[in-house]
Amino acid sequence: MAEDTRSGGFRDWLKSRLQDWAMRKVDPLRPEVLAPASGEVLEIGFGTGLNLEHYPEGVSRVVGLDPLAAASFPKLRERIAGVGFAVERHSLRADRGLPFDAGRFDTVVTTWTLCTIPEPGPALREMARVLKPGGRYLFIEHGRAPETSTARWQDRIDPLWSRYLGDGCHMNRPIDRLVEGGGFRLASLDRFRHDGPALLAHMYRGVAEREG
C-alpha cells in the first residue's frame, strides 16, 4: 500500500468507521457495476476499500485515491491483504489534478463519490485524461431525481444536508450531465430507485467512454 502521510485524529477515526457502516448497505449493488473492470483500475473515492472484493479476475492492480485518512482502519488493511492483485492508495483529492500519465488506466471507477467531490467537473476531466482510449469509466452514483417534485425538495434541502449532515454530499447532482460534460460519452445508463429515503435513493449506474 502506498504510504498515507495524513496523521488522522479522532474525527478521521470516527469518519472511516461511520462511512464504512453506512456504505456497506449498498454492497449488493457493487458486483454488477464492477463486473466489466479489467487491467489497471483507478478508483476515485476509494473510501474504506469496500469495492475490492467485488473486482473480477481480469483486474491486475487497483490504484485508489481518496482524501479520507483511513490508512489505520484495520478493515481496510484486511481488505487490501485479502485480494489477489496489487493495491496502491493515495491520500489525494481528485479535483486538484491527478498525478498520473495520460491514457494510463484501462478502467476508471467511482461508486457514490461524484456527490461528494467539491468540484466534480475538473475531477471528471482528469479521469477522462488518464483513461486509455477504448478504456471504460464504470460508475454508480446517487443524484437528482427524475420527478420534478422530488428534485425540487432535493434543491431545497441540499444546502443544509451537504453542510450539516451529509459531510459534503450533494443530493441533487444531475450525474449523467456531469459525466457527459466531463469529457465522456455514455455507452449505457441505467436509472432506478433504490431502497431508502426518496431524496437519496435515485441511482445512476453506467458505463462511459472517453470522448474523441
d(CA 183, CA 192): 24
Q: Does 120 contact ligand SAM by CB under 6 A? A: no
The number of beta carbons lying within 10 Å of the beta carbon of residue 53 is: 13
Smallest gap, in angstroms, from Cβ of residue 169 to ligand SAM? 6
Out of 6, 75, 93, 194, the only residue in the binding site for ligand SAM (CB under 6 A) is: 93
Give the angle 36-56-47 at the CA atoms, nearest 5°. 90
Out of 1, 2, 4, 23, the only residue in the binding site for ligand SAM (CB under 6 A) is: 23
d(CA 130, CA 38): 15
Listed in order, strand segments (DSSP E) in the chain are 39-44, 59-65, 86-90, 105-111, 131-142, 184-193, 202-210
Out of 33, 37, 87, 117, the only residue in the binding site for ligand SAM (CB under 6 A) is: 117
For residues 116 and 154, which CB has a smaller minimum distance to ligand SAM in the complex? Answer: 116
Out of 113, 154, 162, 172, the only residue in the binding site for ligand SAM (CB under 6 A) is: 113
- Taking CB positions, which residue lies at the least distance from ligand SAM? 47
Which residues of the shown chain bind ligand SAM in the complex (CB under 6 A)?
19, 23, 44-45, 47, 50, 65-68, 93-95, 111-113, 116-118
